[in-house]
Amino acid sequence: MLRLMKLVLAVIQDADAAALMRALSDQQFEATKLASTGGFLREGNTTLMIGVDDGRLAALQALIGQTCRSRTRLVPARGLTSENEGGVAQEPVEVPVGGAVIFVLGVEDFVKV
Amino acid sequence: MLRLMKLVLAVIQDADAAALMRALSDQQFEATKLASTGGFLREGNTTLMIGVDDGRLAALQALIGQTCRSRTRLVPARGLTSENEGGVAQEPVEVPVGGAVIFVLGVEDFVKV
Amino acid sequence: MLRLMKLVLAVIQDADAAALMRALSDQQFEATKLASTGGFLREGNTTLMIGVDDGRLAALQALIGQTCRSRTRLVPARGLTSENEGGVAQEPVEVPVGGAVIFVLGVEDFVKV
Ligand code: NI
Ligand code: NI
Ligand code: NI
């Protein structure tokens, strides 16, 4: 059986993985999660492998983009500079979270057995 | 060196992984096993990455299909329904096992160093 | 956003992974490390997934080739033959280390969100 398919490899943050797996499942996308680390994004990422029919590719990319959008989170600033070591109360700082790197590959054949 | 190759990504059940790795090795297919979970098939899957010369692709697909064919297994039924809680002996039930999802990707270049 | 990109999947030995990740980072290549085992090369391999602009593909392949080149290492010979069991001092033997298997895949679309 040959279908017009794409294979999407999406590298996302671990923190977004559970929400994205749930969102994919809700919309009948089938994803396999590969253990991965480092490089793209910050430490602690997850690579998803998702087979998708051509006609649903845009919807899949939009879903990943919405669920894993780049955003910031406030975290305590301790440890970021050495000038603040004397026990002074510190302002929280914004750190970037989320984001995704999405590769779309052509699939020459796809079979389920 | 450029050869006419395909990259096969096969998602299979953990339970079939050892037998398939052995069968692949017996027939001189080189496979790399990626740790993976969830999504395709039931929980507990394995993703194999197999480089294959074009002329052996059909043989590889047949080998995966034979080794990982969808089948059923009888397992004790306990826990499946709440009506059977009172210690009544239960009939075993058939559950699906095996199966594989196979993506074939074109390879633009392949090198061993 | 569509760019002319390739996705490089490189299977290397665990022993070369840290040096290669550092070399890639030094030259602004972005790599994701997938946990992998068996098959290609000897036990204990690592699969890197590296997105690369077309114009830098040759440089990337050269970098992997240099960092992971096939070479030999001297190791104690014990256990290799049964004739040497009586406590006789053994000559060290050369074993192959390093090496890489590199697949280059076309990328139909690449997006960072
Ligand atoms: Ni087909
Ligand atoms: Ni070549
Ligand atoms: Ni695009």
Is there a domain that residue A113 lies in? no
What total of structural domains would you count in chain C? 1
Of residues B42 and B67, the one with the higher pLDDT is B67
Is there a domain that residue A53 lies in? yes
Q: What are phi and psi of B55, to 5 degrees?
A: -70, -15
Of residues A90 and A52, the one with the higher pLDDT is A52
Is there a domain that residue A68 lies in? yes
Please state the three-class secondary structure of chain A as a single string.
CCCCEEEEEEEEEHHHHHHHHHHHHHCCCEEEEEEEECCCCCCCEEEEEEEEEHHHHHHHHHHHHHHCCCEEEEECCCCCCHHHCCCCCCCCEEEEECCEEEEEEECCEEEEC
Q: Which residue has tokens 């929400």?
A: A19
| C106 CA → ligand 3 middle, Å | 14
Q: Which residue has tokens 């270049």?
A: B109
Question: CATH number of the domain that A61 lies in?
Answer: 3.30.70.120
Residue among A25, A33, A108 whose CB faces B6 most closely:
A108
Percentage of chain B exceeding pLDDT 70: 81
Is there a domain that residue A84 lies in? no
Whether C21 has a pLDDT exceeding 70, the answer reads yes
Per-residue pLDDT band for A8 (boundaries 50, 70, 90) equals very high
Is there a domain that residue C41 lies in? yes
Q: Give the residue-averaged pLDDT of C34-49.
A: 75
Residue among C35, C40, C61 whose CB faces B111 most closely:
C61
Q: Which two tokens stand for residue A107?
A: 């699939």
- What pLDDT is stored for residue C86 in this prediction? 56
Residue A54 Cα distances to A15, C14, C61, angstroms: 28, 36, 31
Which segment of A39-48, B22-31, C42-51 scores lowest on mean pLDDT?
A39-48
Q: What are phi and psi of B10, to 5 degrees?
A: -120, 120
Is there a domain that residue C86 lies in? no
Q: Does A7 touch chain C (CB under 8 A)?
A: no
Q: Which residue has tokens 């550092």?
A: C22
Q: What single letter denotes the amino acid at residue A57? A: L
Query: Residues 47 to 66 of B: which have CB under 8 A from any C CB?
Result: 48-49, 51
Q: Which domain holds residue A97?
A: 5-76+91-106
